[in-house]
């Protein structure tokens, strides 16, 4: 089987290709933005046609942390939707038999009932305002998948992923998400003997996080299965930001004071996924516990990012 992976050199893509490297009878190709601009339709069509893949995994996305997301709505909407349609049209042109699109919890309505259900939460309102552009772009993945299935009979799967974390994450404080940001800043406090740190929000907002290797495995599992309905992928563990900070502080050895800047946004008050569909699709699934995943993330940061 020949698999073409967009965004395969990114955080999730790197972990996914690591898993594919251990599997037999699979050939894959990935590329970076310097090799192919996914916003250029003709270039995408030519590239896909030349490789002629059996399956396409679309991971490439324009996204960042909360500050980046809330100030780049138009940019994120345009780039993510443009890349989506170019990938789908190129896949149709080369008659690719299978496509896996990568959905996001950000697509859920800001006021959707918790836990977020695929049946009721995706179009029950607009995405939370701090992820308005990215969330709407990812919501459009579902609309596009249904339209291309209906008109062109294309086999498209759409796992909707909880917030990712794990080894290989982006630890740049200007662009990273909450877990790598906390690991970076708390480790820096320990290193420099600082006994106080302040994080954004109230600490009361909660999230469900998904270990990156678990996300990769769920995506790979879609390749040989015809799963037409969107399905949530998460860990089943919900944690407040305050508890998350405490867990990471314990992992890095920070024993100082953690404060919260309540003038800064929390984003969604709660994010937790309804995993009923997932449990029916993957009966023997064993995911990574948050504490174990955090330990692996901290070990990666200490080994790779502090030298």
Q: What share of the chain is helix, strand, coil (3-state, %, to 5)?
A: 45, 20, 40
Beta strands in the chain (DSSP E): 2-6, 27-30, 55-58, 98-101, 103-104, 155-157, 159-161, 163-165, 196-200, 206-211, 231-233, 238-240, 257-261
Cα 89 to Cα 148: distance, rounded to the nearest angstrom? 9
How many helices and strands (H and E) does the chain possess? Answer: 10, 13
Q: Which residues are catalytic?
A: 134
φ, ψ of residue 235 to 5 degrees: the values are -100, -20
Tell me if residue 71 falls in helix, strand or coil.
helix
Q: Provide the token pair at 123.
A: 């179009």
Q: Provide the token pair at 217.
A: 């495995």
φ, ψ of residue 169 to 5 degrees: the values are -65, 165
Neighbours of 298 (CB within 10 A): 22
């Amino acid at each position: 089987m020949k698999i073409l992976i967009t965004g395969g050199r990114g955080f999730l893509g790197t972990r996914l290709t690591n898993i594919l490297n251990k599997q037999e009878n699979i050939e894959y190709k990935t590329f970076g933005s310097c090799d192919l601009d996914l916003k250029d339709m003709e270039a995408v069509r030519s590239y896909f046609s030349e490789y002629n893949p059996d399956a396409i995994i679309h991971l490439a996305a324009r996204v960042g942390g909360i500050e980046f997301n809330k100030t780049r709505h138009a940019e994120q909407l345009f780039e993510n939707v443009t890349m989506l349609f170019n990938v789908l049209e190129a896949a149709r042109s080369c008659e690719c038999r299978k496509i896996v699109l990568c959905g996001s919890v950000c697509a859920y309505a800001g006021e959707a009932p918790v836990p977020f259900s695929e049946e009721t939460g995706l179009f029950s309102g607009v995405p939370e305002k701090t992820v308005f552009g990215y969330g709407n772009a990812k919501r459009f993945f579902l609309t596009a998948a249904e339209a291309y299935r209906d008109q062109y009979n294309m086999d498209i799967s759409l796992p909707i992923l909880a917030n990712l974390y794990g080894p290989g994450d982006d630890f740049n404080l200007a662009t990273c998400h909450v877990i790598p940001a906390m690991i970076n800043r708390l480790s820096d406090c320990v290193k420099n003997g600082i006994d106080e740190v302040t994080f954004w929000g109230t600490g009361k907002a909660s999230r469900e996080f998904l270990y990156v290797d678990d996300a990769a495995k769920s995506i790979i599992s879609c390749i040989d299965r015809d799963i037409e309905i969107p399905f949530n992928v998460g860990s089943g563990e919900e944690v407040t930001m305050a508890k998350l900070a405490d867990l990471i502080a314990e992992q890095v050895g920070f024993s100082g004071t953690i404060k919260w800047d309540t003038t800064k946004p929390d984003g969604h008050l709660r994010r937790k996924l309804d995993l009923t569909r997932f449990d029916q699709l993957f009966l023997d699934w064993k995911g990574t516990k948050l504490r174990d995943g955090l330990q692996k993330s901290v070990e990666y940061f200490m080994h790779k990012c502090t030298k």
